[in-house]
Amino acid sequence: MAESEAQKLQLMQELEIEMMADMYNRLTTACHKKCIPPVYNDAEIAKGEAVCIDRCVAKFLDIHERIGKKLGQLSMQDEQLLKK
The predicted pLDDT at position 77 comes to: 87
7 pLDDT higher than 70: yes
What pLDDT digit, counting tens, does each position of 24-37 carry?
999 999 999 999 99
User: Domain residue spans in the chain?
Assistant: 1-83
First to last CA, the chain: 31
What size, in residues, is the chain? 84
The predicted pLDDT at position 52 comes to: 97
CATH code given to domain 1-83: 1.10.287.810
Q: What one-character DSSP code corresponds to residue 65?
A: H
Angle at 46 between CA 44 and CA 37, to 5 degrees: 90
What pLDDT digit, counting tens, does each position of 27-78 carry?
999 999 999 999 988 889 999 999 999 999 999 999 999 999 999 898 888 8
Where do the H-state alpha helices sit in 1-84?
A: 3-35, 47-83
